[in-house]
């Protein structure tokens, strides 16, 4: 049976709600079909399989907020992209998790990656080092965002467990602003990588 009002846009809308409510493990074709009041087979008339659906979800999430346009100030543009990535991931964390587990490459992913690397090429680093900086900073940034989400879900150690670890106890008691902490980490990452790789480039140039 063909459901007249069932289309890809409606399926993605409901699937996103399922992800937000039930997490990555809760997204199944049956769960989405049940929310739509149809059979799972009805979904397959519009999406090929779950991996296809994950790709559509990821594209929808990326387009909820436009990617910041470059301004020519490469450190600030990297920071703007980092802030954008964090906001997109935090809004729908299950979708990012599904994208990694299903190894989905969508039309928007590579242009986004290309922009990140292009910004590093404006830093004055030699091409190969700029590409290395792009790769390393991307890995570190994704790790920071994922760990930030994981820590928010983690239960604090019991007080008796912290009794012999005074430094850890202080760390767990601190109430730092998460946005300020993220900015400090990202800017230190950008500045530190650029300084270290610039020094490496200068060293190589002197030897040559």
89-138 pLDDT per residue, tens: 999 999 999 999 999 888 888 899 999 999 999 999 999 999 999 999 99
- Between CA 55 and CA 95 the distance in angstroms is 9
CATH number of 8-62: 1.10.10.60
pLDDT reading at 150 higher than 90? no
pLDDT reading at 2 higher than 60? no
pLDDT reading at 83 higher than 50? yes
Contacts of 205 (CB under 8 A, 6+ apart): none
Q: Residue 67's pLDDT is what? A: 92
pLDDT band at 1 (very low <50, low <70, confident <90, very high): very low
Total-model pTM: 0.86
152-160: list long-range contacts, CB under 8 Å, 24+ apart: none
Residue from 102, 87, 3 nearest 57 by CA: 102
- Between CA 193 and CA 87 the distance in angstroms is 23
- pLDDT single digits (tens) 178-196: 999 999 999 999 999 999 9
Chain region(s) in the chain for CATH 1.10.10.60:
8-62
74-207 architecture in CATH? Orthogonal Bundle (1.10)
Lowest mean pLDDT among 24-28, 36-40, 201-205: 201-205
Contacts of 173 (CB under 8 A, 6+ apart): none
pLDDT reading at 3 higher than 60? no
- pLDDT single digits (tens) 27-68: 999 999 999 999 999 999 999 999 999 999 999 999 999 999
- Between CA 176 and CA 30 the distance in angstroms is 42
- Between CA 83 and CA 81 the distance in angstroms is 5
What are the angstrom distances between the C-alpha of 7 and each of 43, 51, 56?
9, 17, 12
The answer to whether the CB of 79 falls within 8 A of the CB of 186 is: yes
Check residue 26 and report its DSSP letter: G
Chain region(s) in the chain for CATH 1.10.357:
74-207
């Amino acid at each position: 049976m063909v459901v007249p009002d069932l289309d890809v846009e409606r399926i993605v809308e409901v699937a996103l709600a399922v992800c937000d409510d039930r997490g990555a493990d809760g997204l199944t074709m049956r769960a989405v079909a049940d929310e739509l009041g149809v059979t799972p087979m009805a979904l397959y008339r519009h999406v090929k399989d779950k991996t296809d659906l994950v790709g559509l979800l990821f594209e929808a999430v990326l387009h909820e907020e436009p990617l910041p346009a470059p301004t020519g100030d490469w450190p600030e543009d990297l920071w703007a992209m980092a802030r954008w990535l964090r906001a997109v991931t935090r809004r729908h964390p299950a979708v990012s998790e599904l994208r990694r587990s299903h190894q989905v490459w969508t039309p928007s992913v590579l242009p986004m990656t290309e922009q990140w690397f292009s910004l590093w090429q404006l830093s004055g680093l030699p091409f190969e080092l700029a590409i290395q900086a792009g790769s390393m900073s991307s890995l570190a940034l994704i790790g920071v965002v994922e760990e930030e989400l994981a820590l928010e879900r983690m239960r604090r150690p019991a007080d008796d467990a912290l009794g012999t670890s005074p430094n850890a106890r202080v760390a767990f008691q601190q109430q730092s602003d998460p946005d300020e902490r993220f900015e400090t980490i990202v800017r230190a990452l950008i500045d530190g990588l650029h300084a270290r790789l610039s020094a490496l480039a200068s060293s190589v140039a002197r030897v040559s």
